[in-house]
Amino acid sequence: MSDRSYLSNSYKNILVSETENPGALSTVLITINRPDAMNALNIELMGEVAAVLTAADKDDKAGCSVITGSDKAFAAGADIKEMADADSVQIYIREMFASWDVIRLVKKPVIAAVSGYALGGGCELAMLCDMIVASESAKFGQPEVNLGVIPGAGGTQRLTRAVGKARAMEIILTGRMVTSAEMYEAGLVAKVSADDKYLEDALAIAKSICGKPSIAVRLAKESILKAFDTTVEAGIEFERKNFYFLFSTEDKKEGMQAFVEKRKPGWKHR
């Protein structure tokens, strides 16, 4: 039996809820909740997000997570007050990116539902997720250069891989804000929705994922991410091993048998 206490725990910087999907696994919804700070990300907040996603990864009833903020701000950046007086040694000792590394290793899919500002660390958190659903009014950007620093939570790497060198250079070196339409055209955003539907659409995608066999979903995510840190040849070899492995699962047998019998599969998630 999975420990589901993380759904009812009290958190200081986030709200956590569960959306049940009849006949499928549930969706865990994490809402960033620092309205007085435009949802600025601090170490404590990111630790809470990492803890919830880690617990959801171990929850047999959860299939996907969605991270969102408010309509005005997904997250307007990192909490500058937390960094303003720190020197190099202090910022290193704080290990401010430890929780980010934990989130990067989450096995189940994570969707960012973005509206309003997703700047600096907010943009980086959205990119850390597996896909982004954005409202028409969402604004993305990496304006760290305006503070005399650069992105430190993966912005220079993930943005470049998503939109290419030239566009990443222009966005990061100027620090300008970018519309969701431009980010969709560039390949960073998976879907642009009306301002009153972005969260609904993100939850709909999560529901679809939750209705799939969870082991296949996890290995598909793992294989896609492998494309970013290896050669095509090594990536294909990695993918193929995952493909072979899935032939040992009950869900492979059920899925193919259901296809042959022209019926809906009943996934066992094992």
C-beta of residue 143 within 8 angstroms of C-beta of residue 119: yes
Active-site entry in 50, 62, 78, 202: 78
125 three-class SS: helix
Distance CA 59, CA 67 (A): 17
Task: Report residue 187: phi and psi, to 5°.
Answer: 100, 5
Domain 214-260 -> CATH class: mainly alpha
Active-site entry in 50, 75, 124, 126: 124
Whether 124 sits among the annotated catalytic residues: the reply is yes
Pinpoint the residues of the chain covered by CATH 1.10.12.10: 214-260
Whether 144 sits among the annotated catalytic residues: the reply is yes
193 three-class SS: strand
Instruction: Return the pLDDT at 102.
Output: 97
31 three-class SS: strand
Instruction: Return the pLDDT at 87.
Output: 84
Q: What is the pLDDT along the chain (270 residues), one digit of tens a residue?
A: 678 999 999 999 999 999 999 999 999 999 999 999 999 999 999 999 999 999 999 999 999 999 999 999 999 988 888 878 888 888 788 888 999 999 999 999 999 999 999 999 999 999 999 999 999 999 999 999 999 999 999 999 999 999 999 999 999 999 999 999 999 999 999 999 999 999 999 999 999 999 999 999 999 999 999 998 899 999 999 999 999 999 999 999 999 999 999 999 999 999
**Closest of 104, 3, 16, 115 to residue 66, by C-alpha:** 16
Structure tokens at 103: 């989130």
Whether 82 sits among the annotated catalytic residues: the reply is no
C-beta of residue 214 within 8 angstroms of C-beta of residue 24: no
Distance CA 130, CA 127 (A): 7
What phi-psi label fits residue 105: left (phi over 0), alpha (psi between -120 and 50 degrees) or beta?
A: alpha
Distance CA 53, CA 109 (A): 10
Pinpoint the residues of the chain covered by CATH 3.90.226.10: 5-210
CATH for 5-210, options being 3.40.50.720, 3.30.70.20, 3.10.20.600, 3.90.226.10: 3.90.226.10
Active-site entry in 48, 144, 154, 168: 144
**How do strand 178-179 and strand 14-19 relate by DSSP bridges?**
unpaired
C-beta of residue 39 within 8 angstroms of C-beta of residue 84: no
Active-site entry in 63, 77, 121, 122: 121
Whether 121 sits among the annotated catalytic residues: the reply is yes
Q: How many CB atoms lie within 10 A of CB 260?
A: 8
Instruction: Return the pLDDT at 128.
Output: 97
**Closest of 65, 77, 58 to residue 30, by C-alpha:** 65
